[in-house]
Amino acid sequence: MVVLHGEKQYLATKTLRHISVLLLMSPAITLREATPSDFERIATLHTQSWRSAYKGLLSAGYLENNLIAERTTYWKHKLASLSPKEFVIVAETETGVIGFAAVMDTPQKKYEALLDNLHVHPDQKGQGVGGKLMKEVALRLIDSGRTSFYLWVLKGNTPAELFYKAKGARVEDRGTGMFGGQEIEETRFVWDDLRVLIN
């Protein structure tokens, strides 16, 4: 047993109080399936995430000019036309949507699903939101009989690469994608067994 006296005891008590306050301030996160009415909220978050994560990777003109209009049009159409194999999960608090994950069907028979989007509000990163979304995605895919998926990461997006590797992904191959008229190199990350995301 360690007994603290004087200033050390004060600092320890202050630290515990600070932790307690942070815990009380952390809003509850709810996960739910997105509906067509979520298109503006998802488009706004998608735009915020790209502007934060892709600064310096994509052209400033593309990120700052018409991106919100482009994403709004995309999500309005996409949420109204999802196939039976596709779904979008949103993470929200009492303040609104703070993250989302979108699973799309893939024409590539080698893979069972594509995690086409995983985005968390820049102010909420590091709080476990991305991990919660990936776990929910994995559970839903496993329930539907699918046990693997893949996603693409833009070259230079090191935080995303490190996050996915920590979540059990392996690098499969590399390719290119078009963003705002730019051809950008991408890396494909694959999960061969989604159970690693729910343990």
Interval 126-157: pLDDT, tens: 999 999 999 999 999 999 999 999 999 999 99
**What pLDDT score does 2 carry?**
44
Q: What's the CATH superfamily of 28-197?
A: Gcn5-related N-acetyltransferase (GNAT) (3.40.630.30)
Indicate yes or no: pTM above 0.75: yes
Mean pLDDT of the chain: 88
d(CA 121, CA 130): 10
Residues 6+ positions from 59 with CB-CB distance below 8 Å: 180, 182
**What pLDDT score does 26 carry?**
59
Q: What is the pLDDT of residues 45-91, one digit of tens each?
A: 999 999 999 999 999 999 999 899 999 999 999 999 999 999 999 99
- Is residue 14 very low, low, confident or very high in pLDDT (cuts 50, 70, 90)? very low
% of the chain exceeding 90 in pLDDT = 79
What are the residue ranges spanned by the domains of the chain?
Answer: 28-197
Sheet with 96-104: strands ordered across: 30-33, 87-93, 96-104, 114-120, 149-154, 182-191, 170-179
pLDDT at 171 exceeding the cut of 60: yes
Residues 6+ positions from 48 with CB-CB distance below 8 Å: 121, 122
pLDDT at 39 exceeding the cut of 60: yes
